[in-house]
Amino acid sequence: MSYAAPLKDMLFVMNELADLAAVNALPGCEEATPETVQAVLEEHARFCSEIIAPLNQTGDREPGGWHDGAVTTAMGFKEAFKAFGAAGWQGIQHPAEIGGQNLPKLVAAACMEMLNSANLSFALCPLLTDAAIEALTIAGSDAQKQAYLANLVSGQWTGTMNLTEPQAGSDLAMIRTRAVPQEDGTYRIFGTKIFITYGDHDMADNIVHMVLARTPGAPEGVKGMSLFVVPKFLVNPDGSPGARNDVQCVALEHKLGIRASPTVVLQFGDYGGAVGTLMGEENRGLEYMFIMMNAARFGVGLQGIGVAERAYQKAVSYAKERVQSRDLQGSAGPVPIIHQPDVRRMLMAMRAQIEAARALAYVTAAAFDVAHHHPDLAVRKQNQAFYEFMVPIVKGWSTEMSVDVVSTGIQVHGGMGFIEETGAAQYYRDARILTIYEGTTAIQANDLVGRKTTRDGGETAKAILAQVRRTESELAASDSPDLAAIHARLSAASRAMEEAVDFITLHIQSDIKAVFAGSVPYLKLCGIVLGGWQMARAALTAEKRLKDSLGDGGGDAAFHQAKMATARFYGDHILPQACALRTAIVEGSSGVLALTEEQF
Amino acid sequence: MSYAAPLKDMLFVMNELADLAAVNALPGCEEATPETVQAVLEEHARFCSEIIAPLNQTGDREPGGWHDGAVTTAMGFKEAFKAFGAAGWQGIQHPAEIGGQNLPKLVAAACMEMLNSANLSFALCPLLTDAAIEALTIAGSDAQKQAYLANLVSGQWTGTMNLTEPQAGSDLAMIRTRAVPQEDGTYRIFGTKIFITYGDHDMADNIVHMVLARTPGAPEGVKGMSLFVVPKFLVNPDGSPGARNDVQCVALEHKLGIRASPTVVLQFGDYGGAVGTLMGEENRGLEYMFIMMNAARFGVGLQGIGVAERAYQKAVSYAKERVQSRDLQGSAGPVPIIHQPDVRRMLMAMRAQIEAARALAYVTAAAFDVAHHHPDLAVRKQNQAFYEFMVPIVKGWSTEMSVDVVSTGIQVHGGMGFIEETGAAQYYRDARILTIYEGTTAIQANDLVGRKTTRDGGETAKAILAQVRRTESELAASDSPDLAAIHARLSAASRAMEEAVDFITLHIQSDIKAVFAGSVPYLKLCGIVLGGWQMARAALTAEKRLKDSLGDGGGDAAFHQAKMATARFYGDHILPQACALRTAIVEGSSGVLALTEEQF
């Protein structure tokens, strides 16, 4: 099997670190019992391994194409997406009243990870559809909900996000697409959108584009943007897809990776204007788009974890099979390369970073659930702040991590890793988009510094650090040498993060460029430290379980020992980077900014 | 122009850091006057930019193919290689008596960097031919020299290295190719060699394969390997290519990158045995192969620097052109993204690491020249030890650096970086082989730990550290705040390296696995620290030049200020990683080795 979901690891994180029981106890989450969750995960794992994963390499090799203005997807994608919808997977995190499964985001997060491990290209379509569903749920009119939600949730139709234009990438203020109001209350849309993922395809009966555009006389910049729903086929009064709308796919990009997911240029309004309806109020488009983007950004973070896990499994499998060289301390013949210390180091580095990023993402998902369902407003607010602080980190750090991990995956394979047929190279190509789309790492870092850290004067950051300190106290109370080592590393790393937070909040007004010169190092620092915090919590749990099982030879001893060793590795090999990043942030701005443009 | 050689940077390193004048003063290097060297570099820069660089992207898109048992190369490659040979570039570092230019390795290193910047795929052919020339020069018989050298140096013929077999990659002990002695003194070769770069092509009249094989009754393992010269076409008594030898290209690999360089499977002896002649003595093949490999490894290090420089130039150019978002402190409209602090940070990280790796490589090349030409045996020995210590670092660290830098190059481009037409993605694909072939980074690290650091009890490593300390003293004597900051960072980093050296030499006997668990972090640590040493030396020179030119507004002030700022960046952003690596090496082995094979 090319992918086997790490269900035991996932359930460990969900139960021990993300507190699934507490989520299950929330009003509205009663269905997410441990038994149901395990059954859902097992079924999704089977679906991903058997139906979706086999299409990954074939889709990369023969990604479909664009002919006569229409995109056809890779062999098997259409049928797989039908099966996906029919099984109810698109609806997993959406409310029952629109046909969803009403499961918490924590459960959806694990399912998303699996789908992305199986096939990054395929998983993008549901990811964007989820974002469209979320935006419609929150900002759509009753008529819009009526027209679109059920079909999106059932996987009959799919959704897209239309932000980027040739001159407007990271800078959405430069968007030029126009929306002209009509007498019947609709708008006509005119403009060009680029890099539209699944902007055209043959997997669904209709495509619902969420389009950012300007109405006549709207304020300049980001305050003058409105969001429109523009379907590929207009919706008939009976709900069925009707006349073709004036939106055309005019080009298909030739990409480094995720080749099976069509990335297209969409032209709106060449034949009189594409018919669209306004979402919510005029000029509040960016606000609604951010709802979609936060969901999508969290999802992209899971893409990073998913592809990294897939690359890790492939590397482990190769390292166990490939026989080469003797064991350093053995006199016998050649052994599998997993005996070589540096192969071990690479596999541990992959594993440790994946486990940390997964834990951080799932804990973030659980905070989302608490923020949306807890009866106590103060608890909701606190969890919402945590969630919002974490989204750019889950997106930015998990994806930066994934680019590193998939590259290590190639390295484990040696020369075979460079041969396309092996498959490791595909992960290296696929993952490379993850630090770019839905906001580059720098955009995530700007969000983390600007909105999430300095706007409240560092309060949320400090509150999270206080939680880290509590974990440090627990570590200090143990007599385990592993936990002592982890304690030392985490304490040093969390101090580094605190110094960075202080520097940033202190200088954001007086020297904004110096602060932003260290924004990406700060994002990475937060990811490393908070990932290390989760690894420490995992180690504490493992220690407890190992003590509990002493004497009865508990079957999970090996599992918990591995958790401990992986956390120890993370402590010794990953956490020390925090101090280097602190230096770059706090003392490193002059070198960043010294040159004139001409000196480059 | 898609590539412009950074001649000013190159000459700065050659003159100020690698001491070209001292090399020029060596017996046998008299021709390498500053004027000649500058003229050679300028001419090579022109050739690379105008003739070779334009074939890079076209070769990637249409890399030629394999039909009817023969490989055809990409459009323009054949003509370009003819021009390359005709201009004498293949002979640049080879002796005049075999038709070479007799220039020092220091000069050849700069030329190699340029050729690799222009076109990694193309440059591989001369790189391997250089290695074959070097092996023949040192270990070939008079007849072999007579038969092959002139044609290789003139670029009429090309050379290959035939080591890898399906079961023998990093572990050459497992080689099975057989060489059966014949009555006429030749051998018949039988076996399969894989991953043979330029193993077949249409760019030259003959291909000279250097083949590692076993004679009957040879000792097992690496002590029983002999090296054979096996030409594609047997050489007639008049020196012309004659009958086709029994070596066939039976497959062409489909690779992630360097697609225009054919990587083939060669089958020897399917029709009675390929005729080969023994190089030097039987069973000393590995020794000769190491001569070629050291040259090739150094060359691959320059490949890393070359492709990183190309990616940097492309990123700078995009960052100056792409207009997006306002300046953080400006009120005017959108500006080129080079105004954004994080884009600055990325460009500085690329630039600083390239400059450090270039300086380290050129200084290493100069040591090679001194080791080969200096009249004093002690000086030769000392420089040979330095050269040998540095080869795995130049190879391993420069290439690891390049993988990181080309990835950053994509990031600077945002979404455009992921579109193949942009060209940034090609560098990302191409560079990925560099940490693998000619010995993976782990193989380089094993060499650095085993042969270069512990065999002499750390003596060479400590001698180099003593040189670093002298630079630190010079830094300490300055009143420049930049130099003071660099001093602090370099001192901390060199202490980290010293602690790593002590750990490694102390534990190599008692706990070999713990030592090798940190071998790659040690290689990176050495690269970072010694690269930082060179950056510090560059900063000291820049400081001196800036002081000298005070008042006269010297035209090079901007250049030297940039050198200072780049060194400062390196100090604050790169050197601090040394301490994290020290922790991984000295205290990090338990996590690496804790898991059983089953726990993965």
Query: Chain B: nearest CA to A525, how far in angstroms?
Result: 13
Residue contact B411–A440, C-beta within 8 A:
yes
Q: A450 and A488 share a domain?
A: yes
pLDDT tens string B555-566: 689 999 999 999
Q: What residues in A contact B598, CB-CB < 8 Å?
A: 558
Q: What residues in B contact A558, CB-CB < 8 Å?
A: 596, 598-599
Q: What residues in B contact A521, CB-CB < 8 Å?
A: 345, 573
Is residue B294 scored above 90 in pLDDT? no
Q: A104 and A225 share a domain?
A: no
Q: A190 and A225 share a domain?
A: yes
Residue A234 lies in a domain: yes
Residue contact B580–A583, C-beta within 8 A:
no
A61, A255, A256: which to substitute to probe chain B, counting the most B Cβ within 10 Å? A256
Closest by CA to B192, choosing from B213, B219, B216, is B213
Q: How far apart are CA A87 and CA A95, in angstroms?
A: 16
Residue contact B341–A577, C-beta within 8 A:
no
**Measured CA distances, A66 to A71, A125, A262, A430 (Å):** 4, 17, 9, 20
pLDDT tens string A191-248: 999 999 999 999 999 999 999 999 999 999 889 999 999 999 999 999 999 999 999 9
Q: Which of A270-284, A433-447, B396-410, B551-565 has the lowest mean pLDDT?
A: B551-565
Side chain identity at residue A405, one-letter code? V
Residue contact B344–A595, C-beta within 8 A:
yes
Q: What residues in A contact B536, CB-CB < 8 Å?
A: none
Closest by CA to A407, choosing from B410, B355, B349, is B410
CA A589 from chain center: how many Å? 29
Query: Chain B: nearest CA to A92, how far in angstroms?
Result: 30
Is residue B290 scored above 90 in pLDDT? no
B325, B326, B596: which to substitute to probe chain A, counting the most A Cβ within 10 Å? B325
Amino acid A295: pLDDT: 87
Residue B404 lies in a domain: no
Q: How far apart are CA A89 and CA A104, in angstroms?
A: 13
Mean pLDDT of chain A: 96
pLDDT tens string B322-368: 999 888 887 778 999 999 999 999 999 999 999 999 999 999 999 99
Output b/e per residue, B273-311; b: 16+ Cβ within 10 A.
Answer: bbbbbbbbebbbbbebbebbbbbbbbbbbbbbbbbbbbb
Residue contact A598–B420, C-beta within 8 A:
no
| Percent of chain A's residues with pLDDT above 90 | 93
Q: A136 and A186 share a domain?
A: no
Q: Identify the CATH number of the domain in which residue B14 sits.
A: 1.10.540.10
| A342 closest CB neighbour out of B425, B442, B485 | B442
Q: What residues in A contact B222, CB-CB < 8 Å?
A: none
Is residue A553 scored above 80 in pLDDT? no
| A170 closest CB neighbour out of B170, B325, B520 | B325
Residue among A165, A282, A438, A498 flagged as catalytic: A438
Residue contact A579–B584, C-beta within 8 A:
no
Nearest-Cα residue of chain A relative to residue B513: A341
Q: B145 and B203 share a domain?
A: no
Q: What are phi and psi of A576, to 5 degrees?
A: -60, -20
Query: What secondary structure letter does DSSP report for A595?
Result: S
pLDDT tens string A50-108: 999 999 999 999 999 999 889 999 999 999 999 999 999 999 999 999 999 999 999 99
Q: B45 and B161 share a domain?
A: no
Is residue A354 scored above 90 in pLDDT? yes
Q: How far apart are CA B302 and CA A84, in angstroms?
A: 49
Is residue A116 scored above 70 in pLDDT? yes
Contact B210, B162 (CB under 8 A): yes
A vs B: CB pairs below 8 A: 286
Q: Which of A99-108, B82-91, B320-329, B367-376 has the lowest mean pLDDT?
A: B320-329
Residue A379 lies in a domain: no
Q: B139 and B108 share a domain?
A: yes
Q: Choose between A289 and B422: higher pLDDT.
A: B422
Amino acid B384: pLDDT: 96
> What's the whole-number mean pLDDT along residues B127-143?
94
A327, A343, A345, A586: which to substitute to probe chain B, counting the most B Cβ within 10 Å? A345
Q: B479 and B557 share a domain?
A: yes
Nearest-Cα residue of chain A relative to residue B327: A513
B438 as an active site residue: the answer is yes
Query: Chain A: nearest CA to B544, how far in angstroms?
Result: 19
Q: What contacts B285, CB < 8 A, 6 or more positions away?
A: B212, B213, B225, B226, B227, B228, B279
Contact B569, A588 (CB under 8 A): yes
Residue B349 lies in a domain: no
Q: A11 and A143 share a domain?
A: yes
A563, A572, A585: which to substitute to probe chain B, counting the most B Cβ within 10 Å? A572
B411, B416, B508, B563: which to substitute to probe chain A, counting the most A Cβ within 10 Å? B411
Residue contact B517–A403, C-beta within 8 A:
no
Amino acid B436: pLDDT: 98
Q: How far apart are CA B82 and CA B122, in angstroms?
A: 12
Q: Identify the CATH number of the domain in which residue A174 sits.
A: 2.40.110.20
Amino acid B554: pLDDT: 61
Q: At what angle do helices A577-587 and A481-507 cross, to 10 degrees?
A: 10
Q: How far apart are CA B410 and CA B412, in angstroms?
A: 5
**Count of positions (residues) in chain B:** 600
Q: B501 and B525 share a domain?
A: yes
Amino acid B552: pLDDT: 60
Mean pLDDT of chain B: 96
Residue contact B419–A255, C-beta within 8 A:
yes
Out of A103, A120, A153, a domain closes at A153
Query: Chain B: nearest CA to A255, how far in angstroms?
Result: 5
Residue contact A419–B255, C-beta within 8 A:
yes
> What's the whole-number mean pLDDT along residues B23-32?
97
**Measured CA distances, A4 to A313, A410, A417, B2, B532 (Å):** 8, 19, 20, 45, 44
Q: How confident is the model at residue B103 (pLDDT cuts 50, 70, 90)?
A: very high
Residue contact B418–A433, C-beta within 8 A:
yes
Instruction: Read off the tokens for B539.
Output: 């900063």
Residue A534 lies in a domain: yes
Out of A284, A308, A339, a domain closes at A284
Query: Chain A: nearest CA to B580, how far in angstroms?
Result: 5
Contact B387, B367 (CB under 8 A): yes
Q: What residues in B contact A340, CB-CB < 8 Å?
A: 442, 516
Nearest-Cα residue of chain B relative to residue A429: B429
pLDDT tens string A133-178: 999 998 999 999 999 999 999 999 999 999 999 999 888 889 999 9
Is residue B291 scored above 90 in pLDDT? no
Is residue A293 scored above 90 in pLDDT? no
Residue contact B436–A414, C-beta within 8 A:
yes
Is residue B289 scored above 90 in pLDDT? no
Neighbours of B93 (CB within 10 A): 24
Query: Chain A: nearest CA to B208, how far in angstroms?
Result: 23
Q: Beta strand pairing status for B226-231 and B274-278?
A: antiparallel
pLDDT tens string A12-55: 999 999 999 999 999 999 999 999 999 999 999 999 999 999 99
Query: Chain B: nearest CA to A76, how far in angstroms?
Result: 24
Residue A37 lies in a domain: yes
**Measured CA distances, A144 to A133, A139, A187, A435, B126 (Å):** 11, 9, 14, 33, 65
Residue B491 lies in a domain: yes
Residue among B113, B309, B355, B438 flagged as catalytic: B438
Contact B534, B356 (CB under 8 A): yes
Neighbours of A483 (CB within 10 A): 24
Nearest-Cα residue of chain A relative to residue B326: A171
Nearest-Cα residue of chain A relative to residue B568: A591
Residue spans of beta strands (DSSP E) within A201-260: 206-213, 226-231, 233-235, 241-244, 247-252
Q: How far apart are CA B132 and CA B292, in angstroms?
A: 7
Identify the helix (H) or strand (E) that includes residue A373: helix A341-373
Q: What contacts A304, CB < 8 A, 6 or more positions away?
A: A357, A398, A399, A400, A401, A402, A403, A431, A434
Closest by CA to A525, choosing from A393, A432, A354, is A393
| B594 closest CB neighbour out of A419, A565, A599 | A565
Neighbours of B96 (CB within 10 A): 12
Is residue A541 scored above 70 in pLDDT? yes
Q: How far apart are CA A178 and CA A269, in angstroms?
A: 10
- Specify which residues B162 forms β-bridges with: B211
Q: What residues in A contact B556, CB-CB < 8 Å?
A: none
Q: What residues in A contact B442, CB-CB < 8 Å?
A: 340, 342-343
Is residue A1 scored above 90 in pLDDT? no
| Domains identified in chain B, total number | 3
Neighbours of B102 (CB within 10 A): 18
Which value, to the nearest 10 degrees, does the dihedral of the CA atoms of residues B576, B579, B581, B585 take? 170
Q: A125 and A203 share a domain?
A: no
Q: A36 and A135 share a domain?
A: yes
Q: What residues in A contact B437, CB-CB < 8 Å?
A: 415
Contact B466, B458 (CB under 8 A): no
Out of A153, A184, A208, a domain closes at A153
Residue contact A579–B576, C-beta within 8 A:
yes
Query: What secondary structure letter does DSSP report for A338?
Result: G
Host domain of residue B206: 157-284
Residue A105 lies in a domain: yes
Sign of CA dihedral B265, B269, B270, B271: positive
Q: How confident is the model at residue B55 (pLDDT cuts 50, 70, 90)?
A: very high
DSSP string, B366-377: HHHHHHHH-S-H
Return the half-sphere exposure (C-beta side, CA atoms, 13 A cut-off) of residue B417. Answer: 33
| B415 closest CB neighbour out of A164, A338, A570 | A164
- 3-state secondary structure labels for all residues of B103-122: CCHHHHHHHHHHHHHHCHHH
